Amino acid sequence: MLQSYKYITHKNKKIEDILKSFFLLHPSNVDLSLERIKKLLNKLNNPHKKIKNIIHIAGTNGKGSIATILYYLQKYQGKTINIYRSPHLISFNERIHIKNKQVSNQYLLDVLEYVKEVNDEQPITFFEIVTAATFYMFYQNLADLTILEVGLGGQYDATNIIDNNLVSIISTIGIDHKEFLGSTIKSIASEKVGIIKKKSCVISSKQTISAKRIIKKKSKEMKSKLFQYNEDWKVKNNIFYHDDLKINLEKISLIGKHQYINVSCALMACIKEKKLKIDYKSLYKIFPKMHWPGRLEKVSTNFLPSYSNLECWVDVAHNKLGFTVLVEWIKRIKMKNFYIILALGIRKDYISILKVIKKANPKVLFVLKGESFNSHDPKKIKAIADQLKIQSIISNSIYDALNAIKKDKNTFDKKKVVITGSIGLVGNFLSEIKEL
């Protein structure tokens, strides 16, 4: 975990220093339990127990999207929302919104310093201490609703210290973080369903048969009411269907068919939990306003004046499931003769990801050297790309790759480029171009 230390940055030096100091508290042996955060929250007078109306979201892909969609749906009903998401794209502050506003540097720093002092150098993970600080902020600023996105897994995730919730949402479950959660859908789903609380409402997105079985079993055990995609509601031809209700989703500003499924999960939560009730007439005004950067986002040429002949897209796909969605989108819009610029985290299953990329048939795959996160050896990625007959080039930076693409002979007026593979890669790129 200490390898992540050097990749933590913040424009505010004091916040950066304190965040880095949290990594130094990392336990030598991390057991899967909630004991460390439980002890710290107890010293903070258990702020998490005083927070009501919680929506808790677990899953492999789409958690952050569903959290963001719910946030927009509820904000425009006039509600105040506290929201906790991770990881961040550009600034750490993105993780925490208090009463519909991103946390300020000063308040963040004040609380982090206080929680660090209360923790008194006790071993704790970075995510646990940050989550404890977030609960403290949320208690000090109670909102109408609180949305929590799980960091990793579910059952033993720091956010799961809560005793109850209004709704548990399980986004699509796939294979990721095998070293922590196991290598099968069954083992991963068994962790994720740990967020389901007694006599609550459970919304389950599109799932495999084995994941469905586990979600169903856990919901029954907890005497919770379960609503499943394609059983209790569906999306067909961009229309949401539930009983007699039909909602046209075409005005949603988020790109990709998978986002229609994410929106449908958020809508079902609002339909089935009376405290989340929405005015359906307001949806057509809300849908175009939804914004979730780095997810199939087209980069404005204003940010890349030197590359005006390129059409650049960024996407935070970082596992097989994410790349499957990305490739489906590439095929659906019939993107031809395009280029991919790729960097993958050290623990990612790059062989499975490259097999998915192969289906998209990129003209050239540019594999990046040492980005500002712990990335896979580009030579290993290139070796597998060569075996799969994907034309690939190792590049020193995104800009080196863009320059090569700019010079490459291509009959199309605008060359299309997809920059992908990691939240860190996309976040750093967006941060850099917006500062140019």
Count of positions (residues) in the chain:
436
Name 388's Cβ contacts closer than 8 Å, sequence gap at least 6: 354, 355, 358
| Model confidence band, residue 295 (pLDDT cutoffs 50, 70, 90) | very high
Helices (H), 288-435: 320-332, 350-360, 378-387, 398-407, 423-435
Task: Give CA separation, 44 vs 52, 118, 133, 145, 422, in Å.
Answer: 17, 7, 9, 21, 35
CA–CA dist 352, 363 (Å, integer)? 19
Kindly state the helix (H) or strand (E) to which residue 102 belongs, with its residue range.
strand 101-102
With 70 as the cut, is the pLDDT of residue 340 above it? Answer: yes
Q: What is the pLDDT of residue 372?
A: 59
Distance from the Cα of residue 225 to its chain's centroid: 26
Share of the chain above pLDDT 70, in %: 94
Max Cα-Cα span within the chain: 65
Query: Residue 67: its pLDDT value, please?
Result: 98
Whether residue 87 has a cis bond before it, omega within 30° of 0: yes
Q: pLDDT confidence of 1, banded at 50, 70, 90?
A: very low
Judge contact between 63 and 176, C-beta under 8 A. no
Say how far apart CA 383 and CA 57 lie, in whole Å.
38
Q: DSSP readout, 151-170? A: SSSSTTSGGGG-S--SEEEE
Instruction: Tell me which H or E stretch contains 84.
Output: strand 81-84
Of 143, 150, 153, 108, the residue nearest 18 (C-alpha)? 108
**What domains sit in the chain, N to C, each tagged with a CATH number?**
2-289 (3.40.1190.10), 297-435 (3.90.190.20)
CB 265 within 8 A of CB 169: yes
* Separation between Cα atoms, residue 163 and residue 41, nearest integer Å: 13
- What tokens appear for 425 in the block? 């890669």
28 pLDDT tier (thresholds 50, 70, 90): confident
DSSP string, 405-431: HHHS--SSSSEEEEEES-HHHHHHHHH
pLDDT in tens, 374-432: 678 899 999 999 999 999 999 999 999 999 999 887 666 789 999 999 998 999 999 99
More confident residue, 183 or 218: 218
Per-residue H/E/C for 21-40: HHHCCCCCCCCCCCHHHHHH
**362: DSSP letter:** -
pLDDT higher than threshold 70 for residue 131:
yes
Residue 76: closest CA among 228, 276, 286:
286
> 311 forms bridges with which residues in the sheet?
416
The pTM for the full model equals 0.94
Amino acid symbol at 46? N
**Could you tell me the pLDDT band of residue 8, with boundaries at 50, 70 and 90?**
confident
What residues contact 31, with CB distance under 8 A and at least 6 apart? none
pLDDT digits 0-9 by tens, 133-192 = 999 999 999 999 999 999 988 899 999 999 999 999 999 998 654 455 556 899 899 999
Report how far Cα 34 is from the mean position of its chain's Cα atoms. Answer: 22
The residue type at 341: I
| Cross-sheet strand order for the sheet of 392-395 | 297-298, 310-315, 415-420, 339-342, 364-368, 392-395
